[in-house]
C-alpha cells in the first residue's frame, strides 16, 4: 500500500510539473530577509497585493538593521494595504530585532529557530527554508491541504500531519516545488467550491472525483 501510494505521488507530481512547469513562489523577493517580510505580510492578504507594497518598502528597508531603525508609524503606513498592519509591523520589527541581535543579521536556516520569531508559523518558516535557502520543505496552505485530501494522499486535517504524510511519499527533491504546483492547480482547476473535474488531468488518480455522484 505504501509503495503504491508513493508511485501515485510521483505520477501526480510529474503530471503537475508537466502542466505547470513554471510554478514558483509568487512573492517577489531577492533574499531571505525580503521573503520573510513578504511572507509575514501575506497572512490574510494576496501575494499580488503584497507585491504592490514591497518595492517601496524594500527601497526604504534594505537590511534587517533598516527594519529595526525605521519608525514604527512609518512602517505601519508602508504596509497598511496588507491589512492587520499594526500586528504585522510589530511582527516584522520584533523579528528583525532578534535576527540582528541573535543571528548577526542573517535569517535563521532551521525550522526550530524560524518559528520562534514573532509572526512566523510553520508555513511561513517552510516558505523561507524552501524558497529562501533551497532547503527541502513542504508548504501546506489551504490549496495543498484540499488537493492532498481529494487525491487521497492523506486523510489528515491538521496541516502539520499533512506535511508529514506528504514527506513520506514524495521524494525530497520534489518537496519545494510540490507546494507551488498544488497551489497553481488549486487556483486554476481544483477550486474549493466548484472544482473543474471535467478538465482535470488528475481525475483518474483522484479519490474525490471517483467518489462523486456524477
| Active-site residue, 141 included | yes
Instruction: Provide the H-helix boundaries in the chain.
Output: 2-19, 32-41, 47-60, 64-69, 72-79, 85-103, 111-114, 122-127, 133, 142-150, 159-169, 175-188, 207-211
Angle between helix 32-41 and 85-103 (nearest 10): 150
* CA–CA gap between residue 89 and residue 111 (Å, rounded): 22
* CA–CA gap between residue 7 and residue 18 (Å, rounded): 17
Catalytic residue among 123, 131, 165, 184: 123
Q: Which residues are catalytic?
A: 123, 141
Amino acid at each position: 500500500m505504501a509503495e503504491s501510494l508513493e508511485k501515485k505521488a510521483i505520477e501526480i507530481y510529474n503530471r503537475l510539473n508537466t502542466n505547470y512547469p513554471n510554478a514558483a513562489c509568487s512573492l517577489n523577493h531577492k533574499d531571505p530577509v525580503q521573503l520573510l517580510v513578504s511572507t509575514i505580510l501575506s497572512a490574510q492578504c494576496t501575494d499580488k497585493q503584497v507585491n504592490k507594497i514591497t518595492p517601496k518598502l524594500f527601497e526604504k528597508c534594505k537590511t534587517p538593521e533598516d527594519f529595526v531603525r525605521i519608525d514604527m508609524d512609518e512602517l505601519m503606513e508602508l504596509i497598511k494595504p496588507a491589512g492587520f498592519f499594526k500586528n504585522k509591523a510589530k511582527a516584522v520589527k520584533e523579528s528583525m530585532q532578534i535576527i540582528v541581535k541573535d543571528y548577526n543579521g542573517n535569517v535563521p536556516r532551521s525550522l526550530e529557530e524560524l518559528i520562534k520569531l514573532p509572526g512566523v508559523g510553520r508555513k511561513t518558516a517552510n516558505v523561507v527554508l524552501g524558497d529562501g535557502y533551497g532547503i527541502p520543505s513542504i508548504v501546506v496552505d489551504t490549496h495543498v491541504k484540499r488537493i492532498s485530501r481529494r487525491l487521497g494522499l492523506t486523510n489528515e486535517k491538521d496541516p502539520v500531519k499533512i506535511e508529514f504524510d506528504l514527506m513520506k511519499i514524495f521524494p525530497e527533491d520534489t518537496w519545494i516545488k510540490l507546494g507551488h504546483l498544488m497551489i497553481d492547480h488549486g487556483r486554476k482547476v481544483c477550486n474549493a467550491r466548484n472544482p473543474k473535474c471535467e478538465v482535470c488531468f488528475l481525475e483518474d488518480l483522484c479519490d474525490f472525483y471517483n467518489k462523486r455522484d456524477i
